[in-house]
Amino acid sequence: MSGEATPTEILRRALETSSDPRVGRTRTAIAEAVHELSRRGEDVTVAALARTAGISRASFYSHYASLDELALALQREAFATISDLYAQESGDPPTAMRVAQQRLVAHFAESRGLSAAIAGLPVSKEMHLGGIRALAAVIERSLAEHPDIPVGLEIAPTARYIAGAAYGLIDAWLTGELEMTDDALVDHLTRLLPPWLSGLE
């Protein structure tokens, strides 16, 4: 049957939930290879990632079906790490929000080579939408505890709107459609937020 998973797909699913430290080391090596290739300004391809990570191409494909899937996995991990992205942690909300945006921009800057490679793939739309969903999930959790969300605004659509706008701006920056410094991007991401969320007048 065409709907049945292939042996490679079954293995990949098993590795996603594996607690084997060797699996973790391989995934860490792949992620570090992404950052190393990006830092050197080299093309991020499966062959280059495998070579830099010290693994075989077959090993890469055991963990990720494509560069697209790798990019989405890295984004989800990054968003989980900065799950307090839109939380108001300090007595100075504008400062806390700017720090959160700096974390977000830094994540994309670190994997800019991979993001640029993904932008040219025919399946990158799913990665793009997946990134929006992952960011929206982070924002949604924070909005659930936000004291100043306006009456009548539902959390899920509000989070999706904010994530979509932020992700669209970041995508244009990554692909070179908009030329901005990292600081300028952070400034726009912060100041374009609704005042009740950013804390800015």
- CATH code of the domain in which 189 resides: 1.10.357
101 & 21 share domain: no
Is the residue at 105 inside a domain?
Answer: yes
Instruction: Please classify residue 145 by burial: count the beta carbons closer than 10 Å to its beta carbon, then call 0-12 exposed, 13-18 middle and 19+ buried.
Output: exposed
Buried-exposed string 129-144: b where 16+ CB fall within 10 A, e elsewhere: ebbbbbbbbbbbbbbe
- 37 contacts 52 by C-beta, under 8 angstroms: yes
130 & 178 share domain: yes
- The confidence score (pLDDT) of residue 1 equals 45
103 & 16 share domain: no
pLDDT digits (tens, 9 = 90+) for 154-185: 999 999 999 999 988 988 888 788 999 999 99
Is the residue at 180 inside a domain?
Answer: yes
- The confidence score (pLDDT) of residue 123 equals 53
- The confidence score (pLDDT) of residue 86 equals 53
- The confidence score (pLDDT) of residue 71 equals 80
Alpha carbons 188 and 138: distance in angstroms, whole number: 20
79 & 151 share domain: yes
| Closest to 142 in 3D by CA, of 97, 201, 191 | 97
Domain count of the chain? 2
61 & 84 share domain: no
- The confidence score (pLDDT) of residue 159 equals 92
- The confidence score (pLDDT) of residue 105 equals 87
Is the residue at 2 inside a domain?
Answer: no
Sequence-separated (6 or more) residues with CB below 8 Å from residue 72: 126, 127, 130, 131, 134
Tell which of 17, 38, 65 closes a domain.
65
165 & 76 share domain: yes
Tell which of 42, 65, 88 closes a domain.
65
Amino acid letter for position 44: V
Q: Which two tokens stand for residue 190?
A: 């912060």
Is the residue at 1 inside a domain?
Answer: no
22 & 90 share domain: no
120 & 179 share domain: yes
Tell which of 20, 48, 65 closes a domain.
65
37 & 83 share domain: no
Alpha carbons 111 and 34: distance in angstroms, whole number: 6
Domain holding 132, by residue range, is 69-198
80 & 54 share domain: no
Task: Report DSSP state, residue 149.
Answer: P
Is the residue at 153 inside a domain?
Answer: yes
Ranges of the chain whose pLDDT falls below 50: 1, 88, 122
